[in-house]
Copies of this chain bind each other. A is one copy, B any other.
Amino acid sequence: MNRDPQVQLLLTGNEIMSGDTVDSNSAMIAQRLADIGLSVYRKVTVGDDQALLCRELANIAATADTLIINGGLGPTIDDLTAAVLAEVAGVALVEHPLALAHLEAWCAQRGMPLDAANRKQAQLPAGAQIIDNSIGSAVGFELQLGQCRVICTPGVPSELKLMLDPIVASLAASLARPAQRHILRLQTFGLGESNAQQLINDAIPNWPAAVELGFRAGAPQMEIKLAVADASELALRDHCEGKLRELFGDHIIGEGDTLLAAKVLELLTAKGQTLTTAESCTGGLIASQLTRIPGSSAAFHAGFVTYANDIKSTVLGVKAATLAEHGAVSEQVVREMALGALERANADYAIAVSGVAGPEGGTADKPVGTVWLAWGSAEALHTRCLLWPVERTLFQTMLAAAGLDMLRRQLLGLDSDPRYFSQRRSR
């Protein structure tokens, strides 16, 4: 079995060095390479500096099998890629007839004259083969540099996206074997990264080296990725997946890119049931996350943001006496908020949240981070108090997710408490 080619990326552009532009092109390239089982070994990013570009190109070409250069193909004076490749290869820049024909056609289609700046884009290193650009003026091109195949691509994302089709097809055809990496992603909520790692260390001390394990901690979800290089290792990956499912159980929301809100909507839609929300401290975030999902209207018809106390009464029917006796952040109030929302939305399930998001508003009894959650149906309504003392927007993000997660658990008939119940216990 031949080894996979080592692929490196060289990105150029003052705008990506200055931070004015966030580079999403290299992620696009990496994802497309992953589709054919290739990974990017190393990526170097520099500004539009000819000497530095020449040095980096020569260094990478000395060790990599494939180098994809992105950016610097355009008509302006800071577009240097063709000149840099010609210099390192020790060949002249020559006008490429196919590149010139492309430019002529491109200009003609737009009723523009072919000016000198544009014509510069036909000046390519002698011996280069062009790669068609179906929408932009600058063709891509490639040149063999010793052992390294150097492929030059445009920085405009829409042009790059289309040009990656023939590039990826050509790389796939050159592979010694079909090298599909087999990746499984599990989405979790309620596990910290360190928590998850510790649990795995304890439960599976001899994690098999063939199964790559990765974590991506986002707020609120954490993704666990399991990858193997060869189909012969799939049974081993499945074994590891089984172990993880034993360990993390119902903290696993789903596979792929599953979001909590999407999972809850999927469960409700399958049952033909609906959900409403009654939000104080999360301020509409749960409703907003639900309605981001296409098709959410099947299971979500109404949500209430009752931020002020009197609104909890006038809009949701929370009794003034309940508010006076227990305060807005209380079990009784979230319960009445949920019941009021259920009735007004004529919904099957509700999530209600009332808490102290901060930075102001905490008391000795109810410090910043204190929150009451209610979830469920009128017949089976559950409540819980948690203490989640983090920065305001993170608090809102985590509590919106916790509310969705508790309803997910109820809809699935899970009866064990999630880990964050004990970790975030308020008293």
Contacts and interface: CB of A to CB of B under 8 A. Distances in A.
A304 B341 CA distance: 11
B283 A291 contact: yes
Given A17-B40, A24-B22, A315-B344, A194 B76 contact: yes
B19 A34 contact: yes
B283 A305 contact: no
Nearest to A389: B109
B305 A201 contact: no
Given A44-B42, A46-B42, A214-B15, A194 B424 contact: no
A360 B295 contact: yes
A19 B15 contact: no
Contacts of A304: 302-305, 315
Contacts of A423: 110-112
A74 interface: yes
A183 to B, nearest CB: 9
B40 A43 contact: no
Contact of A111 (B285, B396, B425): B425
Interface string A259-297: 000000000000000000101011111111011101111
A389 to B, nearest CB: 6
A14 to B, nearest CB: 5
Contacts of A115: 194-195, 198
Q: Is the interface of A mostly helix, strand, loop or mixed?
A: mixed
A308 to B, nearest CB: 4
A117 B197 contact: yes
Residue among A52, A115, A213, A303 with most chain B CB within 10 A: A303
A72 to B, nearest CB: 12
B20 A215 contact: yes
Contacts of A201: 77, 116-117
A358 interface: yes
Contacts of A311: 301-302, 345
B42 A43 contact: no
Residue among A31, A291, A292, A394 with most chain B CB within 10 A: A291
Contacts of A118: 194, 198
A2 interface: no
A76 B301 CA distance: 42
Interface in A154-199: 156, 158, 193-198
A21 B27 contact: yes
Interface in A367-407: 387, 389-394, 396
10 nearest A-B residue pairs (beta carbon): A283-B291, A284-B287, A19-B30, A75-B194, A303-B305, A301-B308, A284-B284, A19-B27, A19-B31, A117-B198
